[in-house]
Amino acid sequence: MRVLTLLTVLAVAIVIGGLGSSPFAAAQKPTAVANSKRPFEPAEQLFYEAEFSRSILRNLDVADFKFSAGRAPLGESKNDESNAAPYTLVFKAEIASKGFFTRLFNLNFRERVESVVEPLSFTVQRTNIHDEQGKRIRTTESTFDRSKGKMLWTQRDPNNPNREPRQMITDFSGQLQDVLSAIYFIRTQSLQVGKSFDIFIGDGGRVYKVPVHVMEKKRMKTILGRVDVLRIEPELFGPNRIIDEEKGQFSLWLTDDHQRVPVVAKLKTDYGTFDIKLKKITYGPASN
């Protein structure tokens, strides 16, 4: 596995190393996303910068994040599952190292993720990941067949095309996300302080149950101005969690309005603290 979630379990594993955990069987009825006008549709781009702090090292630039949401006609999304909706949702993320991280560790990392999601049930159908860490490259594809309840995970080494790919088939039922679509799924939910809900995430060939807690509401200064935000905490660390070999805490602040824009994320680990802040938001088709 790599980095993240919510604005990083995408990028964290790159920084803190490889992850592993035992499988967690999921049985959950799909939660329909009734609002036809979701805050990120028809198209949205979010740009973030990540800073690292530890001891006397403060606010050092380490990575850039870009997230985009859009729609794709069924014929272009390679969707083999029958679907009443005329399109699928396509989420993309790109994370790249820069500045201090590159100089200190002499390592460049870049990760690209693409998630294809069925819009009515908001269930992931396919995840593609391209992960570069220096000269090491891995490509991963996960396909999710809800009708059969099967997740097929395949990882390849482009530098060694003759090497047998790693594969894993896992059973699942009900609604499922990946680490990228989970960010957008949370934005569609009714969030109330003191309330919690569970998300089931397919990642690395396994299925994880991730409780999400809505912790507090407060005012915060952001690029959108001084706005009301909600702090949520997904349980990413611990036994049977996505990151089970490290200790840490992940917090995410979303605007307390219909947009539910993720404006700030904070990841605390034994290695230090990563602060991810929104720097720019645009709407409409992404430019190439």
* pLDDT values of the chain reduced to their tens digit, one per residue, 288 residues: 333 333 344 344 333 333 333 333 333 444 444 445 788 999 999 999 998 888 777 888 788 999 999 999 886 545 445 445 789 999 999 998 887 666 666 667 889 999 999 999 999 999 999 998 888 899 999 999 989 999 999 999 999 999 999 999 999 988 999 999 999 999 999 999 999 999 999 998 999 999 999 999 999 999 999 999 999 999 998 888 888 877 889 999 999 999 999 999 999 988 889 899 999 999 987 655
What would the two tokens of residue 267 be?
A: 């990841």
Q: Cα–Cα distance between 81 and 66 in angstroms, integer?
A: 29
Cβ neighbour number for residue 27 with a 10 Å cutoff: 10
Separation of alpha carbons 159 and 152, rounded Å: 22
Find tokens 């690209």 and name the residue.
Answer: 112
